[in-house]
Amino acid sequence: MLLVAVWWLATVLKVADPVLLPPPQKALQALIDGLVGGPLLFDFGQTIYRTVLSFLIASAIAIPLGVMLGAAEKLYRSVEFVIDFFRSTPASAVFPLFLVLFGVGDKTKIAVAAFGASLVILFNVAYGVMNARKTRVLAAKVMGASRLRVLVDVYLWESLPQTFIGMRNGISLSLVIIVVAEMFIGSSNGIGYRLIEAQMLFEMPTMYAAIFAAGALGYGMNWVFLTIEKTFVHWGGK
């Protein structure tokens, strides 16, 4: 609310040209118009579809791999440099590589987002497993549990709180990468596309509406994950 008040005041005081900084009520109107019968609702859906798909691909690859690497710490340490290197590489820097591999279109956007998210999830899952309480692992072993049983019944459950943190970060990163990809590589829809098109045509209320939509989507996804986390991994940290 404070931000909106500052924005409104800036428009009243004409801090910037009114074409570039319209009053907040105009942006709100553009958001409503865009969502009710306008193109923004479809763009919203497209961005959600790409984000969720990339996130699911990332999770399907990173969670089992993270559990396996975490359970074999020596193996994880041997590949840690590669994981950290690519985790630290800005996803936008690998766009050209993925464009060569997957061509333009949805495949590249989803693949880059899945790549970025999978490393974050993998890293968190592996550390979740490695930091599993030794007493619980020991207790299971003492009671004669097999290696597989220890992995599934102890390591997997022990890593879940950290896995959820990784998934929450992963979906946020997926959204960021998808929006950036929609803005800068071939696209015909999506929040990022709507945002850059509005900016190029100086349809500033629409541009701010798209920013609102992206922000609301990011917040919504984070909230959903927090709720799931609190419900299903309530033992985290206990």
Partner 1 sequence: MKYRRDILKTALLATAALATAMWSAGAMAADKVKVGVFPVSSALPYFVAAERGYFKEQGIDAEMVKLMGAPPIVQGMLTNDLDAGANLVTVDGMNGNTKKEGLLYYMSLYGQNKFAQMEQFVAKNGIDAKSVKDLKGTAKKIMSAPGAGNMAMARAVLGAVGMKEGTDYTLTELAMNLHADAMKAGTFDAGYTLEPNATVMNKSGAANTVEAGVVSKYIIGREEAYAYMAGGAITGKMLRERPDVARRFTAAWRKALKDIEQDPTTRELLKGNTFTPPELAMTIPLPRMMMVDQLSAQDKKDFQKVIDFTIESGVIKDKIDTSKYLVSPDRKAAS
Q: What is the dihedral of CA 171, 174, 176, 178, to 10 degrees?
A: -140
* CB nearer partner 1, residue 153 or residue 203: 203
Tokens encoding 126: 């592996």
Query: Burial of 170 by CB count in 10 Å (0-12 exposed, 13-18 middle, 19+ buried)?
Result: buried
Candidates 76, 187, 205, 229; binder of partner 1 (CB under 8 A) is: 187
Query: Can residue 184 be called a binding residue for partner 1 (CB under 8 A)?
Result: yes
Half-sphere exposure of 110 (CA within 13 A, CB side): 15
Total residues at the site for partner 1 (CB under 8 A)?
Answer: 21
Tokens encoding 202: 């100086």
Q: Which amino acid is it at 78?
A: S
Candidates 71, 197, 213, 225; binder of partner 1 (CB under 8 A) is: 197
* Under 8 Å between Cβ of 225 and 167: yes
Query: Can residue 94 be called a binding residue for partner 1 (CB under 8 A)?
Result: no
Query: Can residue 15 be called a binding residue for partner 1 (CB under 8 A)?
Result: no
Range in contact with partner 1 (rule: CB under 8 A) among 6-14, 171-179, 191-199, 230-238: 191-199
Q: Which residues bind partner 1 (CB under 8 A)?
A: 16-17, 19-20, 99-100, 103-105, 184-188, 193, 197, 199-203
